[in-house]
Structure 1
């Protein structure tokens, strides 16, 4: 019975101490509540102001949202730690900071690929090596960029398929941006007969391609002879076209081929094709013509009418 009374006395003493401490802490609690409300209010105002400010310099919605969100969370954390300090809970603050560090380290190892894609997305958003609508080639994929997020770059291939490339792959590998200068050079490899007047061929091609589709008129058409081939003199035709989509390049190249073929037909210029002799390796070293002659003679003998028929 005495033990129970002692326990009750101890409990009442503890409650009494807590009550006295709560009364003493009432001013601190009131200040902490005011500080907490002010923190949310200030964080919301700063977020709106920073968002309007960043939109003047950056057109990436994902990056702008990331920056404003991080600033908003940082302000809330600072205010929260101040509230704990006012409530004389400094030990809790230290424990929380240590816990956040340990959790962050563990999550970093567990989600390192996600973190790498996220950081790569931030760098891509800042550097802007390409934008939505650009035609790029990377990691073996050629297509138009349809969307850029902080995790992936979505590429619509020329054949219609949508490929979502992780930002880490795009960031760490070469990227060819065909839309960067809005022009692209078309190269045509072809050959003409050894008997042709090469200077005439040059002039015919240059004249023919003056009005080819999408051609940039400020750049000259180049016709350069490259080598003596097996059955032709090979040359390269180069000209520049305006480039917004892959169809601009393909249609200009097709139009150039049609125009050159018509011009060559009209001027009597020959585009030779290789001639090959097929060796059937007949037995006894006999040639194919000798073997065909034997077959022909044998069939002629069989077609002759026999005596008595």
Structure 2
């Protein structure tokens, strides 16, 4: 019976304490509601301000997140002070210091992705809309958050990568420059007049409007093969105004048609091409 009275006494103390704190809890809840409304209003104001500037979309998103985060931290501190009147700035800083260590160990991956997201948004490269290749995934950056990056693949699948993977690993930004170089390699019959073949190739590329005139077209005879001479053709094209794959297709079809008209023969598809570059000397072991 003595134990029952002790338990009943403790329960009564808890209930009395709850009702005593009820006004403070209500006020703290009101503070949180005001914080929520104030955060939404501040984000709208920030959006209106940044809309008139030339900030990138990812930087605007970062600014909205930081504004929202700052207001919520301030509101949570006020709510905690209302619920616990004895809470002082010194004790709060000490508690945050101990808590930060514990949170850092418990949520190491989340914090790593958070910091990586901030750094990705702050750097100039890899903006929303860029075509990138990261971790073997090729697609356009659709969205960057503080936790992850959304990449829409060219086949329309959506891939979500943690920001730490993108920040710590090489990323190929294909659309960083609008003008890109492409090339093809093919063979012509060994008895062909190579100067004539080069002239035909250059004439074809000069007649394609998608080929950039700011950079030279490169046509080289690179090596001999079985019954053929291999050419490599390089050109530059503006990917903003032209489909990169379509330009390459036009080059291939144009060269083949021009070769047919000029009587330039190409090796048959079943002919085995052999690279005749000098072989490396064999290493011999000790006798």
Whether the TM-score (by the shorter chain) exceeds 0.5 is yes
Report what 2:211 is aligned to: 215
Provide the rounded CA distance (Å) in 2 between the counterparts of 1:244 and 1:258. 22
Q: Which residue of 2 aligns with 1:108?
A: 104
Match of 1:179 in 2: 175
Q: Answer with 1 or 2: which has the greater Rg.
A: 1
Given the alignment of the two structures, is residue 203 of structure 1 paired with residue 199 of structure 2, yes or no? yes
Question: TM-score scaled by structure 2?
Answer: 0.70
Structure 2 runs not aligned, ≥5 long: 1-30, 273-287
The answer as to whether partners of 2:56 and 2:127 remain within 8 angstroms in 1 is no
CA shift at 1:127, angstroms?
Answer: 0.4
SS in structure 2 at match of 1:180: coil
The aligned residue for residue 148 of structure 1 is 144
Aligned equivalents of 1:79, 1:50: Cα separation in 2: 23
User: Cα RMSD between the aligned structures?
Assistant: 3.5
2:248 to 237, 250, 253: 253
Q: What are the residue-to-residue correspondences of 1:1-309 with 2, within 5 Å? A: 56=53, 57=55, 59-60=57-58, 61-76=60-75, 89=86, 92-212=88-208, 214-244=210-240, 248-273=243-268, 275=271
User: Once the 2 structures are TM-superposed, how far is the Cα of residue 107 of structure 1 from its aligned partner?
Assistant: 1.6
For residues 44 and 103 of structure 2, the distance between their equivalents in structure 1, rounded to whole angstroms, comes to 30
What is aligned with 2:21? none
Q: Distance in 2 between matches of 1:81 and 1:275?
A: 80
- Report the count of equivalent residues: 238
Q: Tell me whether 132-141 or 208-217 shows the greater mean CA deviation.
A: 208-217
CA separation of 1:98 and 1:213: change in aligned 2, threshold 3 A: same
CA deviations on 1:54-80 (whole Å, 9 max, x unpaired) are 664453342011221233245447767
Using the alignment, how far apart are the partners of 1:58 and 1:250 within structure 2?
A: 29
Question: Structure 2 CA distance, aligned partners of 1:275 and 1:81?
Answer: 80
Shift of 1:176: 1.2
CA distance in 2, matches of 1:110, 1:82: 26
Unaligned runs of 5+ in 1: 1-35, 277-309
Displacement of 1:263 in angstroms is 0.7
Kindly indicate whether the alpha-carbon contact (under 8 Å) linking 1:184 and 1:240 is maintained by their aligned counterparts in 2: yes
The Cα shift of 1:218 comes to 2.6
- Alpha-carbon distance change, 51 to 76 in structure 1, aligned in 2, over 3 angstroms: farther
Q: Is the 8 A contact 1:213 1:252 kept in 2?
A: no
CA-CA distance at 1:179 after TM superposition: 0.9
Q: State the shift of 1:146 in Å.
A: 1.9
1:160–1:76 Cα change, 3 Å: closer
In structure 2, distance between residues paired with 1:229 and 1:104: 66
Give the TM-score taking structure 1 as reference length: 0.65
Task: Provide the rounded CA distance (Å) in 1 between the counterparts of 2:157 and 2:77.
Answer: 47
Query: What is the Cα deviation at residue 183 of structure 1?
Result: 1.5
Cα distance in 1 between the residues matched to 2:145 and 2:42: 24
